[in-house]
Structure 1
Amino acid sequence: MTATQDAFRPDAGPSSPDEEERLAAVRRYRILDSAPDGAFDRIASLAARIFDAPMATVTIVDSDRVWFKAAHGLKDMSETSRAAGLCATAIRHSGPYVIHDTRADPRATVHPLVRSRPAVRFYAAAAITTADGHRLGTVNVLDTRPRHPTPNQLGALEDLAALVMDELEVRLATLRTVAAERERRTDAERLARTLQRTLLPPALPLVPGLDAAAAYHPASVDEVGGDFYDLFPLDDGRWAFFLGDVCGKGADAAALTSLTRYTLRAAAIYDPDPCTALANLDTVLKGEYQGSTPRFCTAVFGVLDALADGSFAVTLAGGGHPPALALRADGTVEAISTTGGQLIGLLPDPHFVATTTRLAPGDALLLYTDGLSEARTGSGAMLGEDGLARHLSEHPAQGADALLAMLHTLFTDLGTGVSDDTALLALSVPLPVPLGTDDRPVQENR
């Protein structure tokens, strides 16, 4: 339910127990007065684009001020007084908070952005809420004319606030992990493994009618790689997934990996079309590294749509990435080619290629990074895409978990022939279980 200017209750003062707990949560995330950050700037920019509005912000409500983590369309604005209202009022609401016309709300007229330039007339906000219910701040959209937003726009605003919270959780987890590791040991191997885990989802979600499994095979135990993958739901009941590889190693690659994964998730909220998602990532990478050494990646982005017969329609787009492999129930292996898709973040006007396929019961789809196809066999020859397809056809495996187990054996056999990190994502449609039996294996995400 949308809160409007008619819904009001007194602000919880700084001395109230609830407010003290909320402020403790704000301090816990160590976000106040932090340096500008492209991830949050993009959230504000995307909010403005969704509403077709000139201004949007990501704000944190402190004890006596509202601090701007990101401000799209507002120059030289870093904070306002909490007593001025708007954000401080919005955090008291669990759903979207909307003021259609600030001139009709006496509390809004005292805000600096309302009573002077840019003379805000419309305000909408969604709270950035922790898992334990504390509202740290808001994602806000502002306009100089009265507005009546659509339910879809307000839903997207809530999604963006949830993305801000996800990013804060990831960063806090990384800070805590690094601090704990530094206290226990300075061993490079432990630290690299810990940081690598923060760049990958801890577990894949359960997709009805689909088995999913993922694995990461590092080539080095003391250096962070740049391979990534993810699987997540879309608002329309479909599921999105991606896998890719950024250039380089170490801290720079880790930063690029985090940016890439976060951007693809955010892009899918705005438009889940696979080619559009890759194009948005290309724009972000060019903007983030403008004037510096170009940073680029390869990726495959896909959307899964469950069909009534138990199969899945798959739409894939590729940007300079090896083809996905479809392992059919009859034992054949088919390359799902996106040939012609170009590197992301490097070329002036890259081209991305989309294709479609169908996963029927008994079929599986394998996505991998080139650490696998470029590995050397015992003879010194590169395994290659053809060699990988041949190995899969000669060693059939039923289901996502069995497929990754078989590939783990392949990595073991290749040994020192593997010189680069490899990420694997397997999606399989299980065969129907005969009536009266339930012998499907339990899904495990590696």
Structure 2
Amino acid sequence: MSRTGQEEPDPNGTGDDDTTDATFAALLEDSAEELYDSAPCGYVSTLMDGTVAKVNATLLHWLGLARETVVGQLRFTDLLTVGGKLYHETHFAPLLRMQGEINGIALEIKRADGTRMPVLVSSTVKYGSEGEPLLIRTTLFDARDRRAYEEELLRRQQEAEAARKRAEADRARLQEALAALQQSLLPTVLPEIPGLEVASYYHTASPDRLGGDFYDLFALDGKRWAFFLGDVSGKGPRAAALTSLTRYTLRAAALHDPEPVATLATLNTVLHERYTGGDPRYCTAIFGVLEPDRDSGEVTVRLASGGHPPALLLRADGSCDFLPTPGGLLVGVLPEPHFVTATATLAPGDSLLLYTDGLTEARTGPDRALYGDEALRTFAAGHTGSPPRAVIQALTVLLDGFGDGLDDDTALLALGVPADTAP
């Protein structure tokens, strides 16, 4: 109390001199032996032969053993499990003799009730004044929480691995189903046409999604054959449904009226009436009719295009150019689009190549530029006079060379008159 009658602040910050004195007295009475015996970790001192000379109460509590049962009666390795004892004798003890100390080794002690307890063990050799080893001091830390964490982590890893394998299996089954569905939208085998050679190829950009490209070739009667190739809007199940509708509509329309303009007009009517409102659907397509002439060996081609890339004519004389198909809006967009028929004659050695825009819109080079129509024409010009199968094979190699630059499905169809066809 100050002279003014006010209480002075406590210089020790405790606010209570009696409490401070009691705490100080308790610290004086606390012994190192008591701290050793009740430490939160286990302590054990052994002779150099491993006989236990001293052990604290914490370790005895973990073991469930009395002090007189352990001190002078057991070796340190007797406290370990069979596996721990083997590891101690073959690895732990030799390293300890060489290094004089070893830290943080995971072992297991066996308890009186038969259970195991994971511990982290660190040992140090105490040397005498002459440098001779006298005893070994060992500290054991309770690793049950760590073991539980590791087991939980392992369980989660195993669950994640199992989930990954299930996902891979599900993805493989999905890809198989998608491949089967995709194949059902394409002709299984192209028919054989007297005096004509045909070849086709379908490149799937992603096995995880359905593409919208399609093609077909079928007989109209004993003298004429119809073919078509195209690409519907979108990807996935809806595109597959549109592809199916388009293929069967073209087939049915061709059998009713095989004129290319009439067939595309019928398809346009079906798509425009079916897909109106908030989900418009459309496609690009080329439809044509082949009429071989047995006397001359030539084949007359009449075709019409609905917004599709033009076909390429590869001539036996080495020339190569696009077959113009003027007009030809996307099929299904307008109620009454304008389609125009184009006509060409394939002589022996000539071929007609149809393709979808996945080929010309592939990204190439370091600047990821579009492959383009002119690059395709130049490439095809190098294969004029070749049979359709050779042309398709060369294009297959070209597509493979695009790598990840080819991010859209691509359909190819080549029709040609063999060079050795005689009138």
When normalised by structure 2's length, the TM-score is 0.57
Q: Tell me if structure 2 keeps the 8 A contact 1:210–1:427.
A: yes
Which residue matches 1:276?
Answer: 262
Rounded to whole Å, the distance in 2 between the matches of 1:281 and 1:427 is 23
Q: Deviation of residue 347 (structure 1)?
A: 1.7
Aligned counterpart in structure 2 of residue 226 of structure 1, from 200, 212, 218: 212
Q: Tell me if structure 2 keeps the 8 A contact 1:331–1:396.
A: yes
Q: Give runs of aligned pairs for residues 192-203 of structure 1, distance below 5 A.
A: 192-203=178-189
Where 1:389 maps in the other structure, the secondary structure is: helix
Which residue matches 2:364?
Answer: 377
Which residue matches 1:349?
Answer: 336
Where 1:232 maps in the other structure, the secondary structure is: strand
1:335–1:433 CA distance, 2 compared to 1 (3 A): closer
Q: Deviation of residue 397 (structure 1)?
A: 6.1
Rounded to whole Å, the distance in 2 between the matches of 1:279 and 1:433 is 35
Moved over 4 A (4+): 183-186
What is the aligned length? 252
Rounded to whole Å, the distance in 1 between the matches of 2:340 and 2:358 is 22
Q: Deviation of residue 235 (structure 1)?
A: 2.4
Which residue matches 1:306?
Answer: 292
Which residue matches 1:408?
Answer: 396
1:290–1:327 CA distance, 2 compared to 1 (3 A): same
Percent identity between matched residues is 56
Aligned counterpart in structure 1 of residue 227 of structure 2, from 230, 234, 241: 241
Structure 2 spans left out of the alignment, 5+ residues: 1-168
Which residue matches 1:329?
Answer: 316
1:278-307: CA deviation from partner (whole Å, max 9, x where unpaired): 000000111222334111000000001111
Structure with max Cα Rg: 2
Rounded to whole Å, the distance in 2 between the matches of 1:293 and 1:185 is 29
Rounded to whole Å, the distance in 1 between the matches of 2:385 and 2:411 is 18
Q: Tell me if structure 1 keeps the 8 A contact 2:230–2:283.
A: yes
1:417 matched to 2:393: no
Aligned counterpart in structure 2 of residue 285 of structure 1, from 271, 278, 282: 271
1:433–1:276 CA distance, 2 compared to 1 (3 A): closer
Q: Tell me if structure 1 keeps the 8 A contact 2:269–2:335.
A: no
The one-letter code of the counterpart of 1:430 is P
Aligned counterpart in structure 2 of residue 189 of structure 1, from 170, 175, 178: 175
Rounded to whole Å, the distance in 2 between the matches of 1:326 and 1:185 is 41
Which residue matches 1:338?
Answer: 325
Which residue matches 2:19?
Answer: none
**Worse overlay, 330-339 or 206-215:** 330-339
Q: Tell me if structure 2 keeps the 8 A contact 1:319–1:353.
A: no
The one-letter code of the counterpart of 1:364 is S
Q: Tell me if structure 1 keeps the 8 A contact 2:301–2:345.
A: yes
The one-letter code of the counterpart of 2:269 is T
1:257-293: CA deviation from partner (whole Å, max 9, x where unpaired): 0000000000011100000000000001112223341
Where 2:369 maps in the other structure, the secondary structure is: coil
The one-letter code of the counterpart of 2:312 is L
When normalised by structure 1's length, the TM-score is 0.55
Rounded to whole Å, the distance in 2 between the matches of 1:417 and 1:423 is 16
Which residue matches 2:352?
Answer: 365
Where 1:423 maps in the other structure, the secondary structure is: strand
Rounded to whole Å, the distance in 1 between the matches of 2:170 and 2:275 is 35
1:210 matched to 2:196: yes
Where 2:297 maps in the other structure, the secondary structure is: coil
Q: Tell me if structure 2 keeps the 8 A contact 1:323–1:339.
A: no
Where 2:300 maps in the other structure, the secondary structure is: strand
1:43-90: CA deviation from partner (whole Å, max 9, x where unpaired): xxxxxxxxxxxxxxxxxxxxxxxxxxxxxxxxxxxxxxxxxxxxxxxx
Q: Tell me if structure 2 keeps the 8 A contact 1:397–1:406.
A: no
Rounded to whole Å, the distance in 2 between the matches of 1:433 and 1:269 is 29
Structure 1 spans left out of the alignment, 5+ residues: 1-182, 435-446
Which residue matches 1:141?
Answer: none
What is the alpha-carbon root mean square deviation over aligned residues?
1.8
